[in-house]
Structure 1
């Protein structure tokens, strides 16, 4: 059974229940969601969408984006998640690789990319937007028709109101093993890389989440993450979306106002939420952390802020999610070095060099333009401890110090357990005198370098002790998930004479 069919069937069972609370507080029932998905499906097919058509998708998380994305997949299309702010060269390279036939964007983005005053303002703020209206594609826009929107663009409103929304039945569903979503993850302008998921791989991922994270009618999941919103809807629960660019204080208040039972945060974001609101509402039963390693300090704060909830850390990759889930207590109790990822939810294999390989029904189909995958090399180095996986670092982050291989991920979690250390990261920077790498430990918090030099020898291996310790106001991060940017960190900790 496809993802769309599961969602439509759930909606048919509980049509009057609230499915979604949007950022502005407006509600949409399951019956309304079902009607809109089917209307968009019918409208897109009536306007020429064919099975396998790629749709370049530039709509931020909202009620409209959910309806449009699900309608595209229901029509047999492929949602190609775009990032117009990636820069013109990267955007063009990704466009060449994906070769979409359609573009779906907010009308304000069309206007911002076409109108000179708005485009100039975006440039001054460092945002170089592509001219979406000039792309030789069929266009769909959300929101009111603004100057810059192509004249022949279909509006989401017209799709919702101009077509029959009858359900033709499961025989009309797309092939569950056909591509449904394309997500760009890495690569260069010369060789961009994109993950291809099918409805089948997405359904398998949702099922794994639901096995570990009980969800059902009456539950309220507060998140802007699609991969947690979808299992919410398939389970008949309520998806609560925070507003775009919600402040940490507003995010915390909405948890309380909407009676959230589940929420998801990137660790850095949760720290900001707890700075604004140290206690989380008693309605919360699950607090999920993911997209980046959770420092011990954040885990402890989460437990203190929500003693009534289970705090979980999710290890996942865009290619296969989730992979493993560990409780905060399990992670804090781990003292043998590295990051306790928990018991794997998928098939795992540890290669001779320690690299983790993964497979399972939730594995993506592969990378766009490349052969299908049957097993995924993660680039992560792990060891097994009983039935658990322990992350010790990334292959590409490994530092060589003489005959000693230094894996930052093996030591960083332990360093964050020290009083006065909020975050810790180890990087290597070129040493012009020796030609080797200088090992630099960067931390945030109140601890001083002298304090850390006294305490670290009792905590980590002698050969892993840093050559230099730097205290920063914050660690550089990038992307929506705000992952640690080690390249920028290396630049930030370069000796002053090296950057003159």
Structure 2
């Protein structure tokens, strides 16, 4: 049986109580004993304030030591954290709130201000925010009190203060712990529900897949990478956010690694960091042993660049989805040695099968309970097309990215890794631009290395020799960058399609 992740954290506190556990870059970290004691205080103080087991808390606070201890405390008190992005717009936000029916909301006081009395300031910065202060819930605010903060809102710092006892809420492995929205419209928002058991299973599945261990030092703001570090007895440090920013600058993040041995990047952020390293703008971190990559496809071209700039660092490509994480892990050596888009062998416990149409279908103890309001899931269809190579999974495409040319279905994921393996190509994305009869013009957008020459001409010569002739693009267009979207900066094919449609008309 998988040990609950809070129980595993308590076990580390008993084993290495004085080891550094959680902190912010440049500041003293909480020890494992201090971290567990703080979580206990938060859970107790939540109960004293009226928080009940089963209560759901909307969560819109940027990662910090205080926000992580609040997340842990809510789960320890038997509640559920609901991660919600305020940038989705008021309509979709309202539908998501209606679906989850929260009793509490934890929000940065700055959001109360720029969605309330300073809404004009927010709009000038391109923000269209819901009115957090108008939510009919109990409020907790992070940061100093600002105009727009509800009068009854409780400062977050009160929950981390001294407490007279322990919460003593029995751990229920099937209790909902996290709710994360993945996609959907205002008519049908989609919320993934993870239990304490599925979270614990996911953390157990990461064990042995990274070199995190006591003495390791991880830099990341990502909760789902920081948790494995704590479970392994390592130190987790979070980079500070800019005062008004919602994203960590990859260049400043890399500059701040200093004595870090481990780090996490999305592929898009690593590419920005590599630009700075290659130009000499910043120096390579001296102690970085391992970098985990996730949230978007990891291309061979990116890995080749990364190994050139950071030759002493191992790179892990983590494949997963919000519903089940992790699924498979491979490293740069294995991925670059494989001709296809290697995902690796499924992690222990994950059961993978290939459906008749080639779609990858997954199950396992780290699978979420399901989608809020729907029946429980026994397996999840990924939307990815894959094949087996021995016991290794190889990605071959994406169902929803499929293009149609005549009677031929074209899956971009089958060809993009092959194209990015060509010298001079950094990124390659294939999209289809529909014509008036429902067929699609296949367009290849490439980001090239500086001084690489006429890569488009090279590709026009090479591609008919190395990919299916039915998939050879009609147009090859060089772009400065591939648009990205979402929390993990995935390639935004819709935005790219509009960009290229304008350039080709």
For the superposition of Structure 1 and Structure 2, which TM-score range results when normalised by the shorter chain?
over 0.9
Of 347, 362, 371, the match for 2:351: 347
1:193 aligns with 190
1:485 aligns with 492
Question: CA 1:87–1:272 in 2, change beyond 3 Å: closer, same or farther?
Answer: same
Of 431, 440, 445, the match for 1:442: 445
Shift of 1:456: 1.2
2:52 aligns with 50
Distance in 2, matches of 1:216 and 1:129, equals 41
Contact 1:15 1:31 in 2 (8 A): yes
**What are the equivalent positions in structure 2 for 1:131-150 lying under 5 Å apart?**
131-150=131-150
**What are the equivalent positions in structure 2 for 1:15-414 lying under 5 Å apart?**
15-23=17-25, 25-115=27-117, 118-161=118-161, 163-166=163-166, 168=168, 172-244=169-241, 245-255=247-257, 257=258, 259-278=259-278, 280-335=284-339, 338-345=340-347, 346-414=350-418
* Range with greater deviation from structure 2 (279-288 or 385-394): 279-288
1:23-43: CA deviation from partner (whole Å, max 9, x where unpaired): 453422222212211111001
Question: Which aligned runs of 4 or more in structure 1 are off by greater than 6 angstroms?
Answer: none
Distance in 2, matches of 1:348 and 1:407, equals 21
Shift of 1:250: 2.2
Q: Number of residue pairs matched?
A: 488
Question: CA 1:38–1:46 in 2, change beyond 3 Å: closer, same or farther?
Answer: same
**What are the equivalent positions in structure 2 for 1:455-470 lying under 5 Å apart?**
455-470=462-477
* Range with greater deviation from structure 2 (210-219 or 20-29): 20-29
Of 422, 435, 452, the match for 2:426: 422
Shift of 1:167: 6.8
2:244 aligns with none
Shift of 1:495: 4.8
Where structure 1 has 5 or more consecutive residues not aligned to the other structure, the ranges are none
Question: CA 1:12–1:167 in 2, change beyond 3 Å: closer, same or farther?
Answer: farther
Shift of 1:2: 2.0
Shift of 1:260: 1.5
RMSD, matched Cα:
1.7
Of 436, 443, 451, the match for 2:458: 451
Shift of 1:145: 1.9
2:8 aligns with 6
DSSP-derived class of the 2:207 partner: helix
DSSP-derived class of the 2:273 partner: helix
Contact 2:43 2:167 in 1 (8 A): no
Distance in 2, matches of 1:176 and 1:476, equals 40
Question: CA 1:270–1:106 in 2, change beyond 3 Å: closer, same or farther?
Answer: same
Distance in 1, matches of 2:37 and 2:55, equals 22
Distance in 2, matches of 1:17 and 1:302, equals 31
DSSP-derived class of the 2:52 partner: coil
Distance in 1, matches of 2:472 and 2:104, equals 53
Where structure 2 has 5 or more consecutive residues not aligned to the other structure, the ranges are 242-246
Shift of 1:240: 1.5
1:155-187: CA deviation from partner (whole Å, max 9, x where unpaired): 12222225225474xxx3331111000000001
Contact 1:267 1:294 in 2 (8 A): yes
